[in-house]
Structure 1
Amino acid sequence: MSDERGPDYREVNFDGLVGPTHNYAGLALGNVASMSHGGLVANPKEAALQGLAKMKALMEAGYLQGVLPPQQRPDLGALRALGFTGSDERVLARAAGEAPQLLRAVCSASSMWTANAATVTPSVDAPDGRLHLTPANLQSSFHRFLEPATTGRVLQAIFRDESRFAHHPALPATPAFSDEGAANHTRLAGDHGEPGVHLYVYGREAFGWGGESSPAPKRFPARQTREASQAVARQHGLADHQVVFAQQHPEAIDAGVFHNDVISVGNGPVLLYHEMAFLDEAGTLEALRERMRSPLIPVRVPVEAVSLEDAVGSYLFNSQLLSNPDGTMTLVVPGECQENESVWRTLQDHLLAGANPIGEVVVKDVKQSMRNGGGPACLRLRVVLGAEERAALAGRVLLDDALHDELTAWVERHYRDRLAPEELADPALARESLTALDELSRLLEIGSVYPFQREGA
């Protein structure tokens, strides 16, 4: 596309496949949708097919689309580490009877939200000319803390060429370095091939800054620390002139904005954000303008147009902002945006009719994901890659028609169309999931990335 330096650098959206144990357990404190839908019956097959349909539609529109596999669930190893012993059937039965919330946690399909999988710095920004990846530690919630080890193996299996790709360990899994990945990170540049500026958004400071503690949310926890964002930037070798650290507004967190990508989204030179996204809105914009080589194009949505409640309920800002060959941009929004009158009116009258590059709004149904608190932006990890880097990817992870059809058939074979929380203890579900994942790893040609495949190896 023309938003590159020549034909080389392209943005690839790696979407997470929804796993076979997709369920509504209401595990995520601060995620209003997740909490409000806890206990409902889920449809794993529909969820996975909705995700694949979104991927295929974007691929057919000319965007590069990748796929990341789900995690091994249920995570019986985690239950055994917590003292549950015996056969798989016995472990599941005891967990269901003694600690049902733990069982729900080890069955979570939350890895489908790959915006939390890692933070990525493209090679065009890194001092060593390699693409850098750091898996998020996701320490703020137990069900997501289980993900980083497998995430790291998956990323290493795909981005295998050490001369082009650099992998860093997840940060220490402590509250001081709480890291939620790319959901709190945005890269802004005139085009994908231009050196970019990295906007890291955090909710709190673990050790204080400048001798003073910053304002904190009162209702829900702030998941990302400034210290974690700084550490990732250091791992990737970014200099001061390449980074901006901005605090998320605590009132937004208390309204259910658990990640920055629920209140702002950026791509290229455009930053689409809600008035209440940043504690210091003016300072954040000024810092970005000072560092960017190309002019920043801020698109501000005032609270009078869309309230915080409507922003969270519709996931307007958890949309995908995609660059087009003619210099315009397409915004991919969840169906809930069309159902909210003020949000839909703002999209038509403020964004599409405004003086900004957003020229098209595309509505996608990802309702199964939305009920658990993840919209289109949550479902993808953005990776800017040059042509040679794309050619160096291992495995079969770039979507084409053949892979889409095979993945659709795989879902149809292995997924249930109904899953209630009380059914998570079914030993047959665990066997079905392992069979499906073993087949998937061969289909994607990524090797033995799952614990069950590596036991005794």
Structure 2
Amino acid sequence: MSQTPNPTVREVNFDGLVGPTHNYSGLAHGNVASMTHEGLVANPREAALQGLEKMKSLMDAGYAQGVLPPQQRPDLGALRALGFTGSDARVLARAAEEAPQVLRAVCSASSMWTANAATVTPSVDAPDRRVHFTPANLQSSFHRYLEPATTGRVLASMFRDERFFAHHPVLPSTPAFSDEGAANHTRLAGDHGEPGVHLYVYGRQAFGGDGVEPKRFPARQTLEASQAVARQHGLEASQTVFAQQHPEAIDAGVFHNDVIAVGNGPVLLYHEYAFRDEQGTLDALRARMASPLIPVRVPVEAVSLDDAVASYLFNSQLLSNPDGTMTLVVPGECQEREAVWRCLQDHLLAGNNPIAEVVVKDVKQSMRNGGGPACLRLRVALSDEERAAVSGRVLLDDALHGELTAWVERHYRDRLAPADLADPALAHETLTALDELTRLLKLGSVYPFQL
């Protein structure tokens, strides 16, 4: 399908606000960082402020920046659905005593990683010329399966003008249609306003396939889910490439494609073990893209899979600059791994590619749970007219940043251990904070307790 380029289209990064129950419960099987740091004492206030600092610094550098609110946690409704009854305090106490892992799950603050929130297709690629959204079902883990209903309400509130935005239902929450959102989706094009090609990366096939899958950790994304999302958004075969993630990468802790590859514009920065069929994936992209693909390959000799996972080099933000260069925003952990830092300096910055700058950000609170700079944002390409149609007060400016910072400092604790999750005062603090946040962001009633 041929669409006309729109010169006003610009990428907006919508970062997730870290929730007040940010903690280290080690809930994500296959996420090495999450499992390694299980039981540590977290600092929700620091985590939220680190995220806001990253948003503000990118906004100050000229990148369009938005915010997404956290989920309502603890999810007392989920506990009641599982048979816990009585007052809120009684429900929490029983859960802590009888099912502590379930309590940890309903207190998860993992919605901060909005790369998992949904898959987005910009209007320049869609047949109806609207921006399309499908919330991810996240069915592969209970603590994330709880998110899509609220995510859908939040996105529908922010992008509510039906002239510009289209919202699709969550895929069936079954293993066959396991969908982890934009963390396994990359759009490549010469420019954000140019028609693009959508790279969907999956870990396994639910129906058929040759059975080559990871052996140690689960493959979370299915081919069938990726294909269904592409159909929902009206994409044609000429606009899509479906590639299998390398099973060895998943077994090394690469639970999403955005932990081993990142793309933006015409650039695809990827590890040698990102795709099971590396050459076939590149050939398919080249055959479909209107502009030349610029692949930037990092060989395993330069960065091992272990170093890639520990540093989250590929879970960095790749941002387009007006002069055609790109900026790579990496977590501080990249400086701590000699091979990774050397690769950034000698292979990427000194290489023949558009990556001209590396910016280091401290997101340690997120990294300990297995999420780097790229996990924290959902990319939405919007034209001038579409940006003007965004509802609420969710596009970041200095005033909003200041108010959100003050809101965090008022409501967030500076210490939270897993044992604290049963505290009924925490539940009350969280509801109070979220009620104030929806007024601050002018989103209306999006949380279960507000409906």
TM-score above 0.5, yes or no: yes
Matched residues in 2 for 1:203 and 1:272: separation? Answer: 19
Q: CA RMSD in A?
A: 0.8
Report Cα offsets for 1:358-414 as digits up to 9, x if no partner.
000000000000000000000000000000000000000000000000000000000
Matched residues in 2 for 1:12 and 1:163: separation? Answer: 19
Report Cα offsets for 1:287-338 as digits up to 9, x if no partner.
0000000000000000000000000000000000000011000000000001
Aligned to 2:177: 177
Give unmatched runs, 5+ long, in structure 2. none
Report Cα offsets for 1:49-73 as digits up to 9, x if no partner.
0000000000000000000000000
Aligned to 2:348: 351
Local SS of the residue matching 2:129: coil
Matched ranges for 1:278-317 at <5 A: 278-317=275-314
Matched residues in 1 for 2:420 and 2:382: separation? Answer: 42
Aligned to 1:63: 63
Local SS of the residue matching 2:90: helix
Give, in angstroms, the shift of residue 6 of structure 1: 6.6
Report Cα offsets for 1:217-238 as digits up to 9, x if no partner.
0000000000000000000000
Report Cα offsets for 1:8-65 as digits up to 9, x if no partner.
1000000000000000000000000000000000000000000000000000000000
Aligned to 1:74: 74
Give, in angstroms, the shift of residue 163 of structure 1: 1.1
| TM-score, structure 1 normalization | 0.97
Aligned to 1:274: 271
Matched residues in 2 for 1:281 and 1:327: separation? Answer: 26
Matched residues in 1 for 2:59 and 2:362: separation? Answer: 16
Local SS of the residue matching 1:216: coil
State whether residues 206 and 224 of structure 2, in contact with CA within 8 Å, keep that contact through their aligned partners in structure 1.
yes
Matched ranges for 1:122-271 at <5 A: 122-209=122-209, 213-271=210-268
Aligned to 2:404: 407
Give, in angstroms, the shift of residue 208 of structure 1: 1.2
Matched residues in 2 for 1:445 and 1:140: separation? Answer: 32
Give, in angstroms, the shift of residue 214 of structure 1: 3.6
- The yes-or-no answer on 1:34 pairing with 2:58 is no
| TM-score, structure 2 normalization | 0.99
State whether residues 43 and 415 of structure 2, in contact with CA within 8 Å, keep that contact through their aligned partners in structure 1.
yes
Matched residues in 2 for 1:204 and 1:236: separation? Answer: 22
Give unmatched runs, 5+ long, in structure 1. none
State whether residues 120 and 182 of structure 2, in contact with CA within 8 Å, keep that contact through their aligned partners in structure 1.
yes
Aligned to 2:43: 43
Aligned partner letter, 1:350: H
Aligned partner letter, 2:200: Y
- The yes-or-no answer on 1:111 pairing with 2:111 is yes
Aligned to 1:332: 329
Matched ranges for 1:407-446 at <5 A: 407-446=404-443
Aligned to 1:90: 90
Give, in angstroms, the shift of residue 441 of structure 1: 0.2
Q: Percent identical across equivalent pairs? A: 85
Give, in angstroms, the shift of residue 5 of structure 1: 5.7
Matched residues in 2 for 1:274 and 1:7: separation? Answer: 32
Local SS of the residue matching 1:234: helix
Matched residues in 1 for 2:247 and 2:333: separation? Answer: 24
Give, in angstroms, the shift of residue 122 of structure 1: 0.2
State whether residues 189 and 290 of structure 2, in contact with CA within 8 Å, keep that contact through their aligned partners in structure 1.
yes
Matched residues in 1 for 2:7 and 2:425: separation? Answer: 49
Matched residues in 2 for 1:138 and 1:118: separation? Answer: 10
Report Cα offsets for 1:248-285 as digits up to 9, x if no partner.
00000000000000000000000000000000000000
Give, in angstroms, the shift of residue 7 of structure 1: 4.9
Matched residues in 2 for 1:412 and 1:378: separation? Answer: 23
